[in-house]
Amino acid sequence: MVPFHMSDKHDDDGDADVAVKTRARTKRPPLYKVLLLNDDYTPMEFVVHILERFFGMTHSQSFEIMLTVHKKGVAVVGVFSHEIAETKVTQVMDFARRHQHPLQCTMEKE
Ligand code: TYC
């Protein structure tokens, strides 16, 4: 008798066989925080606009988060899959550069 894994074909030696199961482990994909950083030059209303435009926040939510970044230096503005987080960072960085503001947006694994 030779134990065989579920995914293998059992042997043909005529005696009893024992099936061995291993649990299929499904891993959730990692999530990433998108962070907005403070600086001394980007206008407050520009940051508020970015949060409305790219993160779907209301004006008052956006204003609140903007003030948090202004006072604390950084804030998490959302948590996404790697691909979505990367897209958000690119959208913010491109938009800031086009308007010649030094605003910085980054992502980090949660
Ligand atoms: N500190 C900026 C100012 O006083 C406003 C600001 C807020 C800039 C948030 C960047 O991510 C930021 N104009």
What are the pLDDT digits (tens) for 9-21? 545 666 676 666 7
Tokens (6 digits) for 61: 């939510």
Choose which residue among 66, 93, 101, 106 to substitute to test ligand 1 binding: the one with the highest number of ligand atoms within 8 A of its C-beta.
66
Q: C-alpha angle with apex 79: 68 to 105, nearest 5 degrees?
A: 55
- pLDDT tens track for 47-79: 999 999 999 999 999 999 999 999 999 999 999
For 14: left if phi > 0, alpha if psi spans -120 to 50, otherwise beta; the answer is left
- Residue with CA closest to ligand 1 atom 4: 40
Ligand 1 pocket, residues with Cβ under 6 angstroms: 36-40, 42-44, 47, 66, 69-70, 103
% the chain with pLDDT above 70:
83
Which residue puts its alpha carbon closest to atom 10 of ligand 1? 38
**pTM for the structure as a whole:** 0.82
Q: How far apart are CA 49 and CA 99, in angstroms?
A: 12
Q: How far apart are CA 109 and CA 107, in angstroms?
A: 7
What's the rounded Cα separation, in Å, for the pair 72 and 59? 20
